[in-house]
Amino acid sequence: MKKLFALILIVLAIGSFAAYKYIDSALFSPLDYQSPIVFELEKGSSAQSVATELAQKKLSPHPLFARFAMRFLGFDKHLKAGEYLLEPQMSLKDILQKLTSGKVMMHQLTIPEGLTTAKILEIIDQNEFLSGKIPENISEGGLLPETYSFAKGELKENIIKKAKEDMQKALKQAWQTKAENLPLKNENELLILASIIEKETGVNAERGKVASVFINRLNIDMPLQTDPTVIYALTLGKSDLGRSLKRKDLETNSPYNTYINKGLPPTPICNPGLKAIQAAAHPEATSYLYFVADGNGGHRFGKTLAEHNANIRLWLKK
């Protein structure tokens, strides 16, 4: 009888040890998956439904084990909805810990410099990870081109709100530190000028020179004569022109046409980036009044009409 009892104890001990080893391995050992897994925990999901999905994705040996693990570790009542990125070599415990952390997967949306508001809103509206509707009456030039991070399900209006706030901060900072004696009345005029600079050049090294041309023209009440304002006059930023400008376009009757109107157009013509804003606030000190494409992606600058015409001839030879 004593031998039988001893045998039973041995069997129970072996069984307990085996059970312990199984639980330890299933709960704490790195799982065998090679690529990151996106696990989405829907709002209102129960611990049981999460356990079932973990088993379906082979992240747990069985739904009951995942349910046991959640309760054993105290995670079952602390699951947080969201989209989680599960990296290779995570254990089931690591995964459950992450699902209670709220550290959800972040997506990114990049707004390029120089787009009109209509085009930016289209990019935001077409993003599959954002939700909600686009607000109405978003003004031209008020959204800062930048890369914005957000969790799946973020409202589109929140991205727009952040872009507007960031633009206001950028303008305020630029206006407070701007060069002295600029012929600009307020932050809005700084934004308008920056939008023209943004459309005229993508070469960072010459933004300050382009800015100086327009500042010099404003100082002597000379029309800006910038093609991007004519394009905006024709499209109002709703679409691409789809063709080259024609000479007759320069006669378009519009307050945006800086060939027939002196001063700045009534609103920005695009959403400029930080570098264009800084160039508008800190133009180079030059005597340039003209610039023309150099055929290599940049521009040649001239102080007089004679210099400008010579630069045009060089461009035509390209």
pLDDT block averages, 10 residues each, the chain of length 318: 40 42 66 87 88 88 84 86 91 90 94 97 97 94 97 96 98 97 97 98 95 98 97 93 91 96 98 98 97 89 91 80
- What pLDDT does 15 receive? 42
Q: Are residues 178 and 243 in the same domain?
A: yes
Question: What's the total number of domains in the chain?
Answer: 3
Q: What is the DSSP letter of 147?
A: E
User: How far apart (Å, rounded) are the C-alpha atoms in residues 200 and 204?
Assistant: 11
Q: Are residues 61 and 180 in the same domain?
A: no
Asked, for residue 89, whether it belongs to a domain, the answer is yes
Q: Are residues 173 and 250 in the same domain?
A: yes
Asked, for residue 12, whether it belongs to a domain, the answer is no
- What pLDDT does 181 receive? 92
Give the 3-state secondary structure of residue 170. Answer: helix
Asked, for residue 18, whether it belongs to a domain, the answer is no
- What pLDDT does 61 receive? 82
- Looking at 114, 141, 165, the residue that finishes a domain is 165
Asked, for residue 11, whether it belongs to a domain, the answer is no
Q: Are residues 171 and 311 in the same domain?
A: yes
Q: Are residues 173 and 68 in the same domain?
A: no
Q: Are residues 158 and 180 in the same domain?
A: no
- What pLDDT does 279 receive? 98
| Sign of the four-CA dihedral 249, 252, 256, 260 | positive
- Looking at 73, 99, 125, the residue that finishes a domain is 99
Contact 93, 78 (CB under 8 A): no
- Looking at 134, 165, 196, the residue that finishes a domain is 165
User: How far apart (Å, rounded) are the C-alpha atoms in residues 50 and 129?
Assistant: 22
Give the 3-state secondary structure of residue 95. Answer: helix
Contact 143, 158 (CB under 8 A): no
Asked, for residue 59, whether it belongs to a domain, the answer is yes
- What pLDDT does 25 receive? 62
- What pLDDT does 316 receive? 78
- What pLDDT does 290 receive? 93
Give the 3-state secondary structure of residue 76. Answer: coil
Of 209, 176, 177, the closest CA to residue 276 belongs to: 209
Q: Are residues 156 and 173 in the same domain?
A: no
Asked, for residue 10, whether it belongs to a domain, the answer is no
- What pLDDT does 199 receive? 97
List the domain range (segments joined by +) for residue 184: 167-316
Q: Are residues 197 and 291 in the same domain?
A: yes
- What pLDDT does 251 receive? 94
User: How far apart (Å, rounded) are the C-alpha atoms in residues 113 and 130?
Assistant: 21
Q: Are residues 90 and 114 in the same domain?
A: no
Q: Are residues 53 and 191 in the same domain?
A: no
| Burial class of residue 74 in the structure, from the number of CB atoms within 10 Å of its CB (0-12 exposed, 13-18 middle, 19+ buried) | exposed
Contact 67, 51 (CB under 8 A): yes
Q: Are residues 249 and 293 in the same domain?
A: yes
Q: Are strands 106-110 and 299-302 parallel, antiparallel or unpaired?
A: unpaired
Asked, for residue 197, whether it belongs to a domain, the answer is yes
- What pLDDT does 304 receive? 94
